[in-house]
Structure formats: structure tokens, C-alpha cells
Structure 1
Amino acid sequence: MKIFLLGGTKDSTNIIEFIKRNYDAYILTTTTTEYGAKLAREGGSDDTIARPLLKDEITEIIIDGKFDILIDATHPFAEHITQTSAIIAKELKIPYIRFERPTTNLENIDTSRIHYVNSFTDAGKLIENDFPKGNVLHFAGANTMEDVLKYVSCERFYPRILKVPSSLEKCKELNVNPNHIIPMTGAASANENIELIEKYGASVMITKESGEIGGVIEKIDAANKKDIAVIMIQRPEIKEVEKKDMVSNLNELGHKLKTYFKKID
């Protein structure tokens, strides 16, 4: 079997390792960065593409490569590529699986400091109106900064991002102070987040509802301990993806894949 995997997340690396351990498969993983491709290769991906792909390019690669199945393991907030991949699979009549990490279980966590919004524009407006003092820790990636910075001054803004050329260029375009950039190497611990809150005098942090693997609990824990606000952007609902095509863990993925693969003994 040949698998076309839309990756770039920790989830996608886990999927590669799981499939390679249990099935006879060739995997091509696409990511938007070389860093993501490096992680995919380390996980066992047979080949990688390290740049954003247009719809026609994905379609052409799947057809020319005679891929049997498309797995979308992109970030829960990568709305456009998830919409596109579901449409492509339907057009090409190939099996489609959307792997989406479960939402964060906050059952035993103090959520009193969380403010839920539906967009980064709403996050910026909320900060402008309700949190005019103190600095802002932006824990939501470089591509989401622009909408926030329409309402929040760069003097208050401290983004934690991957120090890759595209992200640094985005910071430059938006006049983000280079000294405000916090290098990201993965999900931070609660103590690391506390250190950042203290170091930068933050009164609020912005994060996506990206699940436990995205470090959401550690962010909330740090905010609670330092008594600052958390602005949580809720996940988009993507109507192109049918519920029957979604899985949220490796066991569910394995159950679905059994219908497509002969499992290795």
C-alpha cells in the first residue's frame, strides 16, 4: 500500500512509526517546513516534501504516484488543507482518514481564567478592550500573529515560534521586535511557561485549543499559578470532513487501516 500523509505535527510522526511497525506500506509525508520533514524522516517516512502544496499539485502527486489512501494529520487549525484534502480524496475516489487529536480534557482543571473566542481577530479585540496592561505571550504560531497585531501593539507582543525563515520573515513584515521572539522547540512544560510569564511581564497568553499534545494543560496550569488570563481560540468545524472518516487515536486508526492493509505478522 502507498500512503500519502499530510503531516507536520507530532501526531503525524507517531502515525508514521505506528504504520511502519504494523503494516507493509510506503509513506510519502508532506509538511510545510523542512523541520517537519526532518521529523517525518526520523519517524520512518520513505519520502518527504517540505513545502506547502496547492490542490492541483497534491492531486497530481497522488495520481502519478498511484497512492492508495490519503491520511490528513495536519494541525486541528490547518482548516484550508483539511478542507482541500477531503475534497481531493472524494474527487479521486480514494480512502480518506482525518486524524485529529482529541480536545483537551479540562475536567479537573481550573478554567476560570480561560476566555474562549472563535478567531484571532476576536482575541486581539478582547485584549484591546479587557487587557490593556501587561505584555502578551502569543503561543499560537507565526501565521496567526497578523490578526492579533491589528489590535495589540508590537511593544506588548511576544510570540513563541519556530525560528525558521518563513516565521522570521513574517515577524519582520509585522514589525515584531526580534528581541521579543521566543524560540520554540516543542511543547513547553508548566515551569517553562511560568518562567516566560515572569520574564516578559505577561498579563495574558494566547493559545489554540490544540489538545494535550499541544501543551494546552501546561499553559493553563502556568497561567493559573501566575494569575494571568488565557485566551483560547476554539477549533474550526470543517464541514467537508465526515464524522465516519475521523479518528482521534492510533487504536482507531489501526482499526480503520485493517480494511485497507494486510497486517504484518
Structure 2
Amino acid sequence: MKKINVFLMGGTKESIEVIRYLKDNFNTYILTTTTTEYGERLAIEGGSDSTIAKPLPKNDLIEILNGETDFDLFIDATHPFASHVTKTAIEVSKICKLPYIRFERYTSNLNDFDKSQLYAVKSFEDAGKLIEKKFNEVNVLHFAGANTMESIVKYISPEKFYPRILEVESSFEKCEKLAIPKDNIIPMKGTSTVDENLELIDQLNAGVIITKESGDIGGVDAKLKAANERKLPVIMIERPEIETLDKKTVVNNLEQLDEKIKTILF
């Protein structure tokens, strides 16, 4: 089997699955980009040959893709809420004339949950306004990451805000900048179970939960089950739509990825 050089934009759990699958089933060299050292460490553990751990603007991406390595394929396995990254990836892949595949996690199946207290909103700004209007007296359990906190905290008191964040320095710095009390910060290293979420809800006397619609791999299922059990309202931010994304380039699992790669390259 011929060797293929893959440029992979990662930083997600599914990107690690992609790396492992490519290594097990193809003769590959993989360069993985992430925005954090934590993501880089996971990529290395997954088997990536090379890594870059920093945000890459458009011109930097073009320079890498036009560099010494002759890449055969561009795989975008970034988070579904990093829409600006995917837009840039699509644009750069066209400029560099590289076949592009978007590996995107499935959306959550909400059929088994009580949706009477599920509030779907389009943005974190909308979520903050909803909390200010309807939930400003209760403790807010934020399950949506450090990068989204500012849009919420400007509408409520930081004293009532409890973010669960990755245990990395940049996330703690963002909390400090927003004057979130240290005792309110919940460090994590991955998604939590239903029981762990229940324990947090009870410990913090949470009155509302914020989450992204980031799929079961992002822990949405466990969050909703815990919220339903405690009869808590959930504010869910819907996935952004990317107008430039051609659905024909999207795959949702490893079997589809395998088929797409073989169609493009073999």
C-alpha cells in the first residue's frame, strides 16, 4: 500500500480515534495540529508522527501545507463549535488543492430525554441573556468550556458561576481574568459520568446547567441524564451551521472515513 501524508486538524477525542485508525489501516505519515499542549499530548499518545500545539492562522497553514512535506489529504476533526477553524480549513484546502474531509461527530439523540426544561439557543450570548432573565438567582453549572465563559459571566454574578474546565493553565487564567472565585472552578481531564454529574449538581446546589450540543462523545448524554434525574433546566447551545461546508465532504464514523479515503486516493 502506498504511503499517504495526512494533515490532521485535531484536538478532539475523535481525532485521536482517527489517528489510531489511520495508523492501523493505512501506511501513513500524520501531522496533527491542536491548540493546546493537552491536545498535543493526546495526539502523540494516539500515534501521530508530528504535532503542532498552537492556533494556526490561515497564512501559517498555507506555509505548512506548501512546505517540505507533500501532503495527500487534509482531515478536519476539530470541535463542531470551532466553526471559524473549519471555515479556514475549507478555504486553505482549496488554496493548496488538497482533498478535504470533515470528520464530524454525530449530533445527540434527544428522544429519550424530558425536553420540557430544555432551552435551545443559538449562541452563548443568548444563553447569558436567558440566564439573566430567568435563572439569575440560582447557581449556574457551566459544562461548556473555558472559552465560552465570558459571554455568560457578563450577565450574572461570578459568585454564582461554576465552570468545569480542562486542567490547563490557559483555562485557569481565563477564570482569573473573569474574577471567578477559585473555589467555584471545577478542573477536569475528560468527560464525566452521570454519577459524577449528579454529585456536582448536589454539591454545588446547581439550579441550571449550560452545555453545548457537542454529541455523546462530548458527554451530552450523561449531562442530560443527570439533569433529568434532578429535574434541572438545561440551556443547550445549538451547533453553528457552516455555509461553506459541502455535505459530501463530511463523514461521521471511521467506516465512512475509510471509504472516503479509498475513493479519493486509491
TM-score where L is the length of structure 2: 0.96
Hey, what does 1:132 align to over in structure 2?
136
Structure 2 unmatched runs, 5+: none
Q: Which moved more, 1:103-112 or 1:176-185?
A: 103-112
Specify which of 51, 63, 68 is matched with residue 66 of structure 2: 63
TM superposition shift of 1:106: 1.5
Ranked by relative contact order (alpha carbons within 8 Å, sequence separation 6 or more), the top structure is: 1
Query: 3-state DSSP class of the match of 1:158?
Result: strand
Superposition map of 1:100-111 within 5 A: 100-111=104-115
Superposition map of 1:169-184 within 5 A: 169-184=173-188
TM superposition shift of 1:261: 4.4
Hey, what does 1:145 align to over in structure 2?
149
TM superposition shift of 1:133: 2.1
Hey, what does 1:218 align to over in structure 2?
222
Amino acid corresponding to residue 106 of structure 1 in structure 2:
L
Hey, what does 1:199 align to over in structure 2?
203
Specify which of 4, 13, 16 is matched with residue 13 of structure 1: 16
Task: Please give the alpha-carbon distance, in whole angstroms, between the structure 1 residues aligned to 2:223 and 2:186.
Answer: 15
Displacement over 4 Å in runs of 4+: none
Task: Please give the alpha-carbon distance, in whole angstroms, between the structure 1 residues aligned to 2:180 and 2:27.
Answer: 47
Amino acid corresponding to residue 142 of structure 1 in structure 2:
A
Contact 2:90 2:100 in 1 (8 A): yes
Hey, what does 2:162 align to over in structure 1?
158
Structure 1 unmatched runs, 5+: none
The answer as to 2:260 corresponding to 1:256 is yes
Contact 2:113 2:228 in 1 (8 A): no
TM superposition shift of 1:184: 1.2
TM superposition shift of 1:213: 0.4
Hey, what does 1:81 align to over in structure 2?
85
Query: 3-state DSSP class of the match of 1:4?
Result: strand
Contact 1:23 1:261 in 2 (8 A): no
Q: CA RMSD in A?
A: 0.9
Hey, what does 2:118 align to over in structure 1?
114
TM-score where L is the length of structure 1: 0.97
Hey, what does 2:231 align to over in structure 1?
227
Task: Please give the alpha-carbon distance, in whole angstroms, between the structure 2 residues aligned to 1:19 and 1:261.
Answer: 13
Task: Please give the alpha-carbon distance, in whole angstroms, between the structure 2 residues aligned to 1:178 and 1:88.
Answer: 40
Query: 3-state DSSP class of the match of 2:108?
Result: coil
Q: Which moved more, 1:181-190 or 1:102-111?
A: 102-111
Amino acid corresponding to residue 83 of structure 1 in structure 2:
K
Specify which of 2, 5, 10 is matched with residue 5 of structure 2: 2
Specify which of 154, 167, 172 is matched with residue 171 of structure 2: 167
Query: 3-state DSSP class of the match of 1:258?
Result: helix
TM superposition shift of 1:110: 1.9
TM superposition shift of 1:92: 1.3
Specify which of 24, 43, 47 is matched with residue 46 of structure 2: 43
Task: Please give the alpha-carbon distance, in whole angstroms, between the structure 2 residues aligned to 1:36 and 1:114.
Answer: 31
